Structure 1
């Protein structure tokens, strides 16, 4: 399984769909899988259960997805905060789509479906997550200033260089 990680706005879903199509495997968006499993939106989960409740649900769903069939899986920006998820990534190909905070915020704007945008300490949150992304990643691809197709080409090239390609 190829797992895409990175901050919100890195393009994990967009790149993931394109990459999955190129590799001939399904694409799975972890956030969509969580909403399907829970029967409610992520903002509704945050509202009812708070971030800790959401993170518990997220970790359970993602661990299940990681045990599933071959796919390109896009994780939410905060998923790697869970030690059980980081542990479950063992044996999977993890690709960090590295985006600067400036580019990430320009991409997501004021998206009401992203509860973490309301975090007043967003720069600190961004900085804190970078270490987890880098520790988990086998491959890092900078996405700033690149079109999704360019990012996909770079990911495929890096997967080939790493000896874990198609």
Structure 2
């Protein structure tokens, strides 16, 4: 039985915000795997990335996410978890993957400064190219897609709850 919900999507789609409320409304636990990584490494995410680089960070992210062993939980991993094949396969095995989808315009409006937001961009990479690169992964792994363009947070939460209820029938 897949008892967990895993929220994926770009930074600023509300994986944590929506996730916490959905968990409360459904009587589930909430797990933010970025916090698990920081706890394990005893450093902030950006400090880890500065020290070990993006590849090193992805190794840590994969290891932490693939070892998440919970039930009846809403799990909110970092946006780059989709590059971690083992972690994503684990999430598909233990839950329903919910892609919180937003257009590039919506993301751009919400993330004014990607660096301050902790968005990892490779040398010369733009937010637009990162968005384009990740969308195909989000679509590949998603069991449920919830579009949140022109939605207030409350509407997104209701849309997620509706789709989950339909999926569990």
* Same fold, TM-score > 0.5, yes or no: yes
Aligned mates of 1:90, 1:12 — CA distance in 2? 17
Note closer, same or farther for the CA distance 1:117–1:14 as it changes in structure 2 (3 Å cut): farther
- The residue number in structure 1 matching 2:25 is 22
Aligned mates of 1:109, 1:63 — CA distance in 2? 31
* Aligned partner of 1:76 among 69, 78, 87: 78
Aligned mates of 1:125, 1:83 — CA distance in 2? 18
- The residue number in structure 1 matching 2:163 is 158
SS in 2 for 1:78: helix
- The residue number in structure 2 matching 1:127 is 132
Q: Note if 1:136 corresponds to 2:138.
A: no
Aligned mates of 1:12, 1:115 — CA distance in 2? 14
Matches of residues 32-51 of structure 1 in structure 2 within 5 Å?
32-51=35-54
- Structure 1, gaps ≥5 residues long: none
Give the alignment's TM-score, normalised by structure 2: 0.89
- Structure 2, gaps ≥5 residues long: none
SS in 2 for 1:57: helix
- The residue number in structure 2 matching 1:86 is 88
SS in 2 for 1:141: strand
Q: What's the C-alpha RMSD, in Å, of the aligned pairs?
A: 1.6
Give the alignment's TM-score, normalised by structure 1: 0.91
Q: How big is the shift at 1:78?
A: 1.1
Deviations along 1:54-80, one digit per CA (max 9) or x if unpaired, are 111111111122x22321011211111
Moved more, 43-52 or 89-98: 89-98
- 1:43, 1:113 within 8 Å by CA — same for their partners in 2? no
- The residue number in structure 1 matching 2:118 is 114
